[in-house]
Amino acid sequence: PDDVAASLPKDAIIVARSMGAAELLDYPRDKLRGLVLEDGAATSHVVIVARAMGIPVAGQMRGAVSMAENGDAIIVDGEEGAIHLRPQPDLEAAYAEKVRFRARRQEVYRELRKKPSVTKDGVQVDLLMNAGLAVDLPQLAEAGAAGIGLFRTELQFMVASTFPRAEAQERLYRDVLDAARGKPVTFRTIDIGGDKVLPYFKDTIQEENPALGWRAIRLTLDRPGLLRTQIRALLKACGGRELKLMLPMVTELGEIAQ
């Protein structure tokens, strides 16, 4: 609920039975430090979006809601997918040192932003960032990236309760290009299917190897209305600016020709 999101304290960790990806976006990112879910498999939308936002998340933590109390100290180890409820001082100190080490490393990276991206043999290269949500856009300037090398358009579909209308897609793509301020942006057309199942998209199939099956470009070629709507939104959003597209999971030239 909006009132809960607005009253979220600083350095908060949310413990819940389940959460939708769109609901996660209602919480202020600067206050949220972690997410613990009783449901939430590694491939669930909210887990994918949380990781894309840099939020440590642990899913399938059975009984977490009943065991945790308001104000409890919790360590969320996003790398291991584990939590430590009311940790002992020595464990808390060990994780605090990990956080300090990461902060020192990030400070080193910040200093590197000022240096040119040149290999030892003098070749100039461009360092580009990945993005997929509007909340990612401020990081473009902060990271000092030369542009966005991969904008994952499917994340907009994953946080929605139904297929985003063409106007909503166009608005997001325009905001991305505006935020880039002339820097190059490569949009990857919608990559759904496989482990990225949309609950409102009923035409899904069970496959032994979904990662290489009916997904991405193969899915959109079978459902051309999805791809046409997205391409139109991208063309309108660019407004004469350069538009770079990436087509995911292409296996043969015929898929491009089609």
Residues 174, 244 within the same domain: yes
Ranges assigned E (strand) in 176-215: 185-188
Q: With 90 as the cut, is the pLDDT of residue 234 above it?
A: yes
Contacts of 2 (CB under 8 A, 6+ apart): 26
Report angle CA 134, 160, 58 to the nearest 5 degrees. 80
Question: Could you give the percent of the chain with pLDDT greater than 70?
Answer: 92
Across residues 57-63, what is the average pLDDT? 92
Question: Could you give the percent of the chain with pLDDT greater than 90?
Answer: 46
Report pTM: 0.78
Residues 190, 239 within the same domain: yes
**Residue 3: its pLDDT value, please?**
61
Residues 156, 222 within the same domain: yes
Count: domains in the chain:
2
Tell which of 68, 89, 110 closes a domain: 89
Specify if 109 maps to a domain: no
Specify if 31 maps to a domain: yes
Residues 56, 149 within the same domain: no
Provide the residue range defining the domain that includes 245: 128-256
Q: Dihedral of CA 163/219/190/245: which sign? A: negative
Q: With 70 as the cut, is the pLDDT of residue 204 above it?
A: no
Give the H or E element holding residue 34: strand 32-37
**Residue 111: its pLDDT value, please?**
84
Q: With 60 as the cut, is the pLDDT of residue 2 above it?
A: no
| 3-class SS of residue 76 | strand
Residues 73, 149 within the same domain: no
Query: Is 240 buried (19+), middle (13-18) or exposed (0-12) by CB count in 10 A?
Result: exposed
**Residue 210: its pLDDT value, please?**
63
Q: With 90 as the cut, is the pLDDT of residue 8 above it?
A: no
Specify if 218 maps to a domain: yes
Residues 47, 146 within the same domain: no
Ranges assigned E (strand) in 57-163: 57-58, 74-77, 82-85, 129-131, 148-152
**Residue 200: its pLDDT value, please?**
76
pLDDT class of 124 with cuts at 50, 70, 90: very high
**Residue 42: its pLDDT value, please?**
66
Residues 135, 83 within the same domain: no
Contacts of 11 (CB under 8 A, 6+ apart): 31, 33
Q: How far apart are CA 195 and CA 202, in angstroms?
A: 14
Specify if 3 maps to a domain: yes
CATH number assigned to the domain comprising residue 204: 3.20.20.60
Tracing tokens 């966005």 back to the chain, one arrives at 148
Supply the DSSP symbol for 93: H
pLDDT class of 52 with cuts at 50, 70, 90: confident
Q: What is the mean pLDDT of the chain?
A: 87
